[in-house]
Structure 1
Amino acid sequence: MVKTMVRARTAVVVTALALAAGCSGNDEPSASSTTPGTTSAPTTAGTTSAPSSSAPSSTAAAQGPVKLTVASTVATGIEVPWGLAFLPDKSALVSERDSSKIKRIAGGQVSEVGEVDDVDASSEGGLLGLAVDPQYPTRPYIYAMYTSGDDNRIARLTYRNNQLSDQQVILDGIQKAAIHNGGRLRFGPDGYLYVGTGEAGDRPNAQDDNSLGGKILRITTDGKAAPGNPGGRLWLSKGHRNVQGLAFDGKQLYASEFGQSTWDELNVITAGANYGWPAAEGIDSLDGMTNPIAVWKPADASPSGIAFAQGHIFMASLRGERLWAIPVANGKRTGEPQAFFVGEFGRLRTVETAPDGSLWLTTSNTDGRNDPRDGDDRILRITISR
């Protein structure tokens, strides 16, 4: 059962898509696609700490690089913010990994709306991603991924009048460990819930078709396998080490992933594809395995959440302490990634596109792997221009 912490003063009417996830284990579909979350095989590019690329497309060249500006600080004093999901009234819900609390941010004010039960927070585990039911308020639910004492789970909770209640587990049995728990949740344009998982430090999980670890899951709101999944299974793709970010550009799904000690990755997700771990890390071009479209040295990335806006995937980086902007189109990279805010705000965990087109970016300096700064952790509002 959910323990309601604070009753906010006004009711929230929610219709938004879902969002929001991890900690660095190495630090320490195109419009013509017929299967959701799929595209043709991605191009292979990126070989150095700042990844290289093939020649940009004429569209990308005409657009030019983006400029990011910190417009304001939305909130401060949040403990290890992890999942972030916008509501249609332009407020947002944010999960605190270690406290098990979910908080609402509205008009610069932060209030607690509830607490998720049975969360076992340790190292990289705890209360992780959040998503809002795409049929809200007809279906007045939010979804949370969290680490329990036995496994990683996804729960559906009722959200009415700024309060959480009626916690129900819709999927359990996702492998857990102190590291590599994944945790990101996002609803796709097909109405199904996509889930990033890690292999929980046990490498064979990533290639085991019967394991939920090291996969991207695609499930219904009742926790069942979504129609069209490979073999009728719960997962869409396999061979992942630790998926931390999920984002859609139309029907095309992208995912960020922690490498081990050599390459972090940005992948274009194709239904049924094998992304190589543990045989491959970065661009290895192994038979039957899919290469990433961009790679980084862990010191420059250790990627967490990603978001899509204005022809770019924006990727928050933990160890790298920067926000990457990667130009993409039709499931391919179209130019050189740009790095922003290098070292300015410390570890960066989650980035989401806000209803007004700006980005909300969370820091992660209270997660035990950095020295907190005054006001940490915070959420920054970032505007995009050219």
Structure 2
Amino acid sequence: MKRWLLMLSLVFVAGCASDPADDAVQEEETPIEQPAESTEGAPNEDDALSVGANESIARQLDVPWSIARTEDGWLVSERGGTIAVIDADGNVSRQPVELAEDVLEIGEGGLLGLALADDFATSRHLYAYHTYGTPGDVRNRVVELTWDGERFEETDIVLEDIPGAQFHNGGRLLLDGDVIWVTTGDALVPDLAQDETSIAGKILRVPLSGEGDPVDWIYSSGHRNPQGLTVIEDVLYASEHGASGHDEVNIIEPGNNYGWPMIEADETKDGLETPWFEVGGTSWAPSGIVADEQYVYMATLRGNRLVAIDRETREVVPLVEDQGRIRDVWLEDDRLYYITNNTDGRGNPGAEDDQLFMLELR
């Protein structure tokens, strides 16, 4: 793969470093606000989504961030720089990741998104997003890894020098044929999200061939800290942390500008997009998302819930509310798999946390 190196200097604006993290503050006691939605067109009660068993299938994960399904189990990235390999019986083997640049676990940074190559079963190739550098010079990169069954080794570079910071690193990956989608945060410099020469605060469509320059891979702009990405029926959805509440889910289209830091919530301005869905004034801190024909399923951190959002009515259906912070979710047939994120210093972990759960849908 052709390697590209984008040398972008990260300029910190006075006061940005004190900008609070999206989900770093203490949980609020006020109830989570539900967006006011019309019930017109809402599904009949007979067709309403419900859940069955909610079972823990792996325990004692260490600050997990992203989950990926293999033929015989799961791979889960852990923010400190390891990948938990989980077999069909729920046994966890924590394996090292050997990289040309060490993982920098800082704030919300570390080893973040994973995406498996289409031929992973034979090639053992996967892609990872991770933070690196120093506390004074934080950056992010996307690399190809190869797994030999005992360790993961970097074998190629997809993209380096993505601007980073203690918070707002983005980090979600989505493999789609011969391209990989990458979400990047604004690195605590909001104006970078509107800077056409910066890949910060963007959603990137990166060809695995490596053709083109990184700024050519900018698919959409005006993002603050997008941490969820999924595609269904050629519709690309992204979840994103708002500045003070007003977290968003957007339908991403090429060339669109989603407004940060110029607008948020229901504000409007020519040439800028308003969100498909926003949570209101109390933050949910959304992270991983998946979708099917009817729902977008979203993990929330401060919201402490896994929810389903009806794609037609945008009605919210709570699915899980008693496992604490939830970081990522995976859909397979009529089951949702999700990971908690209670060991990241902001939750209240139990003795078995963090965990990978399986939730039956009905």
TM-score by length of 2: 0.85
The whole-number CA distance in structure 1 between the counterparts of 2:21 and 2:358 is 23
The whole-number CA distance in structure 2 between the counterparts of 1:105 and 1:268 is 33
Q: Which residue of 2 aligns with 1:136?
A: 120
Q: Which residue of 2 aligns with 1:361?
A: 338
Q: Which residue of 1 aligns with 2:241?
A: 258
3-state SS of 1:233 partner: helix
1:164-196 deviations in Å (ceiling 9; x for gaps): 2343322011110000001011112x4310111
Query: Which of 333, 340, 348 matches 2:326?
Result: 348
Q: Which residue of 2 aligns with 1:183?
A: 171
The whole-number CA distance in structure 2 between the counterparts of 1:214 and 1:109 is 37
Aligned-partner residue type, residue 200 of structure 1: A
Contact 2:337–2:357 at 8 Å: present in 1 too? yes
Are 2:264 and 1:286 aligned?
no
Are 2:193 and 1:193 aligned?
no
Contact 1:26–1:298 at 8 Å: present in 2 too? no
Which structure ranks higher in relative contact order (CA pairs < 8 Å, sequence separation ≥ 6)? 1
Structure 1 gap segments, 5+ residues each: 1-22, 29-47
Q: Which residue of 2 aligns with 1:93?
A: 75
Q: Which residue of 2 aligns with 1:45?
A: none
Contact 1:225–1:235 at 8 Å: present in 2 too? no
Contact 1:24–1:318 at 8 Å: present in 2 too? no
The whole-number CA distance in structure 2 between the counterparts of 1:320 and 1:240 is 20
Q: What is the aligned-residue identity percentage?
A: 36
Q: Which residue of 1 aligns with 2:296?
A: 313
3-state SS of 1:206 partner: helix
Contact 1:218–1:225 at 8 Å: present in 2 too? no
- CA drift of 1:243 comes to 0.3
Are 2:146 and 1:158 aligned?
yes
Aligned-partner residue type, residue 219 of structure 1: V
3-state SS of 1:148 partner: strand
Contact 2:109–2:167 at 8 Å: present in 1 too? yes
The 1:222/1:121 distance shift into structure 2, 3 A limit, reads farther
The whole-number CA distance in structure 2 between the counterparts of 1:317 and 1:297 is 14
The whole-number CA distance in structure 2 between the counterparts of 1:255 and 1:49 is 20
Which deviates further from its counterpart, 171-180 or 60-69? 60-69
Contact 1:273–1:289 at 8 Å: present in 2 too? yes
3-state SS of 1:204 partner: helix
The whole-number CA distance in structure 2 between the counterparts of 1:55 and 1:273 is 29
Aligned-partner residue type, residue 340 of structure 2: T
The whole-number CA distance in structure 1 between the counterparts of 2:178 and 2:37 is 33
Structure 2 gap segments, 5+ residues each: 1-19, 26-31
3-state SS of 2:193 partner: helix
1:314-351 deviations in Å (ceiling 9; x for gaps): 111101101110011xxxx4341112333x11111111
- CA drift of 1:160 comes to 3.9
- CA drift of 1:139 comes to 4.4
Query: Which of 294, 313, 325 matches 1:334?
Result: 313
* Aligned structure 1 segments of 4 or more residues deviating by more than 6 angstroms: none
The 1:74/1:282 distance shift into structure 2, 3 A limit, reads same
The 1:71/1:310 distance shift into structure 2, 3 A limit, reads farther
Q: Which residue of 1 aligns with 2:228?
A: 245
The 1:378/1:57 distance shift into structure 2, 3 A limit, reads same
The whole-number CA distance in structure 1 between the counterparts of 2:294 and 2:197 is 36
The whole-number CA distance in structure 2 between the counterparts of 1:270 and 1:147 is 27
The 1:371/1:284 distance shift into structure 2, 3 A limit, reads same
Are 2:311 and 1:323 aligned?
no
Q: Which residue of 2 aligns with 1:374?
A: 351
- CA drift of 1:53 comes to 2.9
The whole-number CA distance in structure 1 between the counterparts of 2:282 and 2:319 is 15
Are 2:141 and 1:173 aligned?
no
- How many corresponding residue pairs? 330
The 1:299/1:169 distance shift into structure 2, 3 A limit, reads same
The 1:298/1:110 distance shift into structure 2, 3 A limit, reads farther
Aligned-partner residue type, residue 122 of structure 1: I
Aligned-partner residue type, residue 204 of structure 1: D
The whole-number CA distance in structure 1 between the counterparts of 2:164 and 2:302 is 22
Contact 1:55–1:335 at 8 Å: present in 2 too? no
The 1:63/1:276 distance shift into structure 2, 3 A limit, reads farther
The 1:152/1:371 distance shift into structure 2, 3 A limit, reads same
The whole-number CA distance in structure 1 between the counterparts of 2:175 and 2:324 is 29
Are 2:17 and 1:25 aligned?
no
- CA drift of 1:250 comes to 2.2
The 1:166/1:221 distance shift into structure 2, 3 A limit, reads same
The whole-number CA distance in structure 1 between the counterparts of 2:360 and 2:94 is 27
Contact 1:197–1:216 at 8 Å: present in 2 too? yes
Contact 1:26–1:259 at 8 Å: present in 2 too? no
Bigger share in strand: 2
Are 2:90 and 1:108 aligned?
yes
1:250-305 deviations in Å (ceiling 9; x for gaps): 21110000001130101000110000000111121211111111111364511011
3-state SS of 1:254 partner: strand
TM-score by length of 1: 0.80
Are 2:199 and 1:212 aligned?
yes
The whole-number CA distance in structure 1 between the counterparts of 2:211 and 2:288 is 25
**Could you say what the CA RMSD is over the residues aligned between the two structures, in angstroms?**
2.3
The whole-number CA distance in structure 1 between the counterparts of 2:282 and 2:316 is 16
